A and B are shown apart, each in its own frame.
Chain A
Amino acid sequence: MTEAVLPPLSLTTNTHKIPGNMAIWAAILAEMSEFAIMFIVYFLAKVHNPVAFDEGPPKLSTVAGASNTLIMLTSSFFVVRAVIAIRENHPEKSARWLWGAVSCGVLYLIIKYFEYEWNTAQGLSTETNIFYAVYYYVTFNHLLHVAWGSAAIAWVIYRLNTGIYTQQEHEGLINVALYWHMIDLAWITIFPLLYVIR
């Protein structure tokens, strides 16, 4: 009688591999949950205040929102290229790509400053109505993430330049790259909710 051979477990090494480390994923999932709560607040406020949410987005600057979306996506692209460069043992090139990402972060903050100024000139504030209260709460929260995310990338550049990160060991760089992509994910969700859908 032939012995039945059990098939190998379907879970391969790949399905257990974690980009970065578990600590950064705990942070990313916590941050994504925080943004999810804000999005639920947005949906609830929208169904209870349809007029404010229909009339709100057209008064915002779509150009500023779209520009910042393009900037965030480009910064994410730069971060991916920085990861590829360090894997190819090109730390200087990796640092240059990361400088590109930091520049995008700074540009985002400058655009956001002018966007808020433009809103104020139009008489829009957190007091105007619930749509703008949600808009300011969500976008200012995201702005803070961009600011400290940019600072974290600058720290990674310093560590790259001092030779702490190498082709073999660069987990810190990967962690910051993942965190930055999370900030990008939050923004690509915020953009349609606040600027596009009405």
Chain B
Amino acid sequence: MQMTTKKLIGALWLLLVVLTLFSAYMAEQVTPGLYSISIMAIVLAIKGRIIVDYFMELKESHVILRALMRMYFYVIPALIILVYLFPEQIATLTEL
């Protein structure tokens, strides 16, 4: 049983590494656009969810803490896409 946990944690670490290398590749090679920005936002959401659920062990724990921590990695990726899609409108709304 414990062996399974160790294997799972190892596999998740490997997935996090692959996702990071993929992001770095995109930063260097891919022309920015909605497609690439959305992929980067989704990659961030996945990485955050893995750490919150498995490394911090919130998947089976306190419901409010889990919701708060998971929400962070819905909101920030959503903001990344919104800021890309509507920069002028957001700038107008937040003008001092």
Listed in ascending order, the chain A residues whose CB lies under 8 Å from chain B are 11, 14-19, 25, 29, 32, 36, 39, 43-44, 46-48, 50, 57, 62-63, 65-66, 69-70, 73-74, 76-77, 79-81, 84, 88, 178, 181, 184-185, 188-189, 191-193, 195-198
Complex CA gap A39/B32 in Å reads: 20
Given contacts A188-B47, A196-B24, A196-B26, contact A43 B72 (CB under 8 A): no
Q: Are B20 and A48 in contact (CB under 8 A)?
A: no
Listed in ascending order, the chain B residues whose CB lies under 8 Å from chain A are 2, 5-6, 9-10, 13, 16-17, 20-21, 23-24, 26-28, 32, 37, 40-41, 43-44, 47-48, 51-52, 54-58, 60-63, 65, 68-69, 72, 76, 79-80, 83-84, 87-88, 90-91, 94
Q: Are A43 and B83 in contact (CB under 8 A)?
A: yes
Given contacts A19-B56, A47-B91, A192-B40, contact A11 B63 (CB under 8 A): yes
Given A185-B52, A192-B23, A196-B40, 13 new contacts (CB under 8 A) = A14-B61, A17-B62, A29-B68, A43-B83, A47-B94, A48-B94, A62-B28, A66-B23, A69-B20, A76-B55, A84-B2, A184-B55, A195-B27
List A contacts of B2 (CB < 8 A).
84, 88
Q: Are A57 and B27 in contact (CB under 8 A)?
A: yes
- 7 A-B residue pairs with Cβ-Cβ distance under 8 Å, sorted by A, are A25-B65, A77-B55, A84-B2, A185-B51, A188-B47, A196-B26, A197-B37
Q: Are A44 and B60 in contact (CB under 8 A)?
A: no
Q: How far does the Cβ of B37 sit from chain A's closest Cβ, in whole Å?
A: 6
Interface of A is mostly: helix
Given contacts A17-B61, A185-B48, A192-B40, contact A62 B13 (CB under 8 A): no
When C-beta atoms are compared, the residue in chain B nearest to A39 turns out to be B76
List B contacts of A191 (CB < 8 A).
20, 23
Complex CA gap A192/B61 in Å reads: 29
When C-beta atoms are compared, the residue in chain A nearest to B32 turns out to be A198
Given contacts A50-B87, A185-B51, contact A84 B44 (CB under 8 A): no
Complex CA gap A185/B73 in Å reads: 9
When C-beta atoms are compared, the residue in chain B nearest to A77 turns out to be B13
Q: How far does the Cβ of A193 sit from chain B's closest Cβ, in whole Å?
A: 8
Complex CA gap A189/B48 in Å reads: 8
Q: Are A77 and B9 in contact (CB under 8 A)?
A: yes
